[in-house]
Structure 1
Amino acid sequence: MMTWLLGIWISWLILLVASAQKPFDVVPASQKLNVAASQSFNQRSGLKTECLGSFFKLSVDKSLAFGSRLEFDAINGSQIEALTPRFADKCGFSVASDPWGNTNVYASLLNCFAGNMDDAVFDIDMRVRVLGAKGEQDVFEVEKTCNYDQWAPREILCNRNYMEVSVNRLPGDITALHRPPKLGRSKGSDDQLTSTVSEAITSRFNIWRIMFFTPQQKAMLLVDALKAGYSITTTKSRLVLRSGYDMPETYVETVNGVPMKIISATTYFKKQWSVTMLDTVAACPTGGLVYTDEMITWNFPRINPLMDSSDTKILGMFMGIDGKQIDTAYMAARGYSLTMEDALIVMKLPMGGPDGYYKSHAVNNQYHISYNIEVMLDLLWSDGGTDTTKYKVIFPIKTPLVSGLPQLVDNTDSQLKMFDVLLGPFLYDVEFVNITFSTGVLTVAEATARGVIIEEHRFPNGSKTIRLQVPFSDLFVIKSQVDLIMTVYTLPLVFGFMILPENTPFSYSTSVEVTLHDVVLPTISGKCDTEKFYIQILFGSVGKSFSVLLGKQDLTPERKVEYEVKENGTHMSLAVPFLASDVAFELMYPSSLKARLDVLVQEPANKWNLGDFSLSCNFPMTMTECYSNGSMSALAVKVESVTQLSPRQLTLRDPSCKPKFSNDRFAYFTFNANNCGTSRTFMMG
């Protein structure tokens, strides 16, 4: 039996070594999901794995997701667990994305799901799920084997969301249940997500309890610590403690001005009549940053709570970016430095360097910008010349938000009568989504379809500006007259933006205004025939936005009907009978009447006179008439020069001869030629 098992292990090792020299495979996980045919990593771009010392890195390029949502699962045999924040903190995973959609997954080689053979060969098995907008999924499995056997007596990993410490001081009588590098899958396991217990590789018969120091002592049984969210496991030769930064048994200590989060615990191993205690402590920085306009400085205490002796010697000090160590040549090219200064280890990085990126933010609807970069610090030290400690910090840096208030450049051309504005700059992660005009909100596509010219200008540094062009004649433009000859054109705008990938909205409000001496006032002309005044009003540039007065009365809708008003987009015309009430009488002749029509065009809001016109004409009119029956008629007309005259009170020479008809303007008499004081005159010839 032992020979058979040994043969199996040797065969497996040969396959493992062979597979380690080949690219890992990306395989669709289930036929029930919308997955393309099986594709290897070389055939499927967008996925990359790396073994980086004591941890593993999976990089997912934005091209794989194409704007879809990414989710990740940890896999070991039939056990599959989604990388939720709580699970990631407990089991040694971290996930980070940049604004472009590139995602990095870091996993400790001692994570809960890693296959572990002799603390030297580690199998990492994960699943990448690409979720479409309509619920469809593309699923790819990632398998990677990492070799790492250069463990220090104590190793500490400070990742962005958890702290991990492992020590190799396990006594020989403490056994550990550790996983083989890869477990076989049970049939149908792809369709089930089984809950994973992180203590699966821990011998419950040996770990008795854990004493946390907060710094006060707080004891927990193993099962209670695991339920609380801690990971406490043993491997063949190591004890591993892992904690999230926000766990209640962690505490903060400031060391040389740098705040550090600390988890400290003693693990008790009990067997028969003996008890063994192992101390584990991790201290991870949560601050120490100093910013200027040109430089980011990160201070780390040279002597920290993890160092047990005053005779501590730092044996190695290295800098890294995105989980990878970098050499001195790279540091010099980028302008980085890592030095010891008195009680501090000091890392300096130029602000805005190419290894980081700028990110947009919206605070109280205001646009802000931060610079982000993920640095790494690797330290190796010895205490008293004996045991060594490997210490690794993956430290994401996000600078304080700086106002990125966009600038509006007004390039409006009054001669072309075109509003032309430029707004920016914005970063690459800002999307222009809509714009609010005076008439309402339109999407960019709707505004473009309406004839608005919208352009996005991109620059080599990744920033961009938005250009908007709107003609003065558009309905979006508000027009108003400040006097007779000047027009104010106003374009109120609210630009609507979205910050990706968070979909955070913000807006920018402005109003562009131009004043032009471009008013063409209305012009009035007219003529007469024997019965009417014929008036024509050309609108000019003010359109129909004026009122018309005939005489002293407004041209009401009823009068428009009476005067046969006709109008189009350029002018209006009307015909006014000379006896209409709006006509003034100037002089009365024996056989005609001189009448005048006054026309006034006004701007209604301010009562500005835009134009006036008077037309006087003589109209034929019989004032007296004799009839064959010996009767006569006479017409008296009130002219405007006799303001006090009342036609109703007129009489002939005989006061008893009153008008047969009268009103405010006329008095009409009929009488016998021999009555009413009529005199006769005989004409010779």
Structure 2
Amino acid sequence: MNSRLTLRASYFSCYTQNQDDESFRFLFNVIVADGEDRETKYRVKKTCKLPLAWSSREIICEETYMEVTVEKHVSCTASESMSMESWNTALSMARLTASTTWQVMFMGDEDTMESMSFTDALDQGYRLDTSPTRVVFRTTYRQPHSQTVLVDGVATEVINATVYYRQKWVVIMLDLSAACTINHGTFDGEQLHWSIPRVMTPLVQDPSSFTSSQIRMGIDGQLLEETVWRSRGFDLEETGPIINISVPFGAQGGYRKSFVLDNTYHEIYAIFMYYEHVFSRVYADGTDDETRHRMMRLLETPMVCQNPFTVDETVLDEHRFTVMLGHFPSDIELVSMKINGVFLTIPEAFQQGYSVMTLSNMNGTHGYVLEVPFDNPVVHRAYLGEGLLLYSLNINYTLHVLPQEEPFYHLASVVAQFHNAFPPDITATCRESGIIFYIGKPTLDHLWEVGVGHELLTPELAKRRGYILTNDTQGLILEVPVFTYGYTYETATTWPKVLTRQITLRDKTCQPQQAHDTRIMFSFALNTCGTKSMVGDSYVVYENEIISAKQYIPKDNPIITRDSKFRLTVQCFYPLTSDYV
């Protein structure tokens, strides 16, 4: 299974080498342990050039911390995140406590303020630092000096921090306040939604001076062009004071995790979204300062019950089943199948001539394509008459969730129908030398086989048995001489027994020339004894009947007979060119 590991580090992290706030070099080791806990160490280094010029204020809302950096040399103005009264109070405290060393002041509930040194702030979990051109403040969430407020109905964590120090006769004060939404989005069954206030009022007290420059989004800390995220089904919509971001379940860029619960397949989909808003505060003199506000957020669905699906992609002319099963994340593997009751692991399926292919999709999911020829012995066949022939497969797929190899199952049935699958038309003609079979050409010759008994009719079989097999444009002609292998010789019998002296032709005056207890012989001309003739396209048929004469009791008012009913039609076929016509 593919593993997923992401490491993000601030440009101002402890182990980053900073060159004039323009080039940053990060060194770290990656230690990988195998299944036997043997470790392999990889030394990784990454150098990043500053992609964009710094904004006056940069705010980053990471998963576990907030970070603010501001320019060192800015004009001393009232902080936007404070009221004028609060600012004046903070300024008075700064004047009284400022020294040549850096200090930080926190404003809490009800305008309570607390001032401390950088060292004391570090002891309480805050990180304060300076770089060649900027001042850095970093804090984890839910610190004692932070507050949770609602901004246009969205839960937001705010920390008001001011860094200050005395430089000669001037007190330098820098606003390092931060505000980050703490909502984790919602899921409506199809899409993940993330709501963000357009104007983060804890950072902008006067909306009239607020100017929005750019709102963008991306994933995994990287911005995406609008054409890209729209092609993936993402949406960014401004609804009043709220920015709504929507992501479809399974969209490219996220990842899916599979589970088996109550023998049912479930999934969780997660995506690490990135939001960036660049805005400015415009002053009365026309100048402005720019803020770049970035937020990272892991959006995750609850556990969703999934129903794997199959698509029957069978093409009848290809004479094979083609069935697609999908779509699954990378932690799902097909391990075996039961096809019409025959169990096959995937390696066994390959060995026995089945085709099982993996189909990869652009969004990182995959499916499986099974191909089974119609003539495979495992395929069920049923001829229902009227030219309707059915092929069918019942498939039970077994899949595993990796790496724990939890099994789950999926059932599928597919049917292929031929609506014009008439069998060959077979007629027979009796001659003195034997029987001639005419086997017409079937509508779908690949679906039918002709056999003699339990053996397939082939030229080799005909030669071995003494049959005469010929072929013409209409089909096959099979001549089976009398006394060759395959005939069954049986006596016809009646009960009560028919008396041979009572048997006649249609003309009751035509009696047998020879008569014995078990056999009789007639000899008569074609135009005598009640013989009828019928003329076809290329032949003439002469027909008569051998009939047993019944004796009824009494003769004057016959109601009872003890004689068996016996009637046998005899026909002779002659070509029209024959002298018998």
The alignment's TM-score, normalised by the length of structure 1, stands at: 0.42
Higher relative contact order (CA 8 A, sep 6+): 2
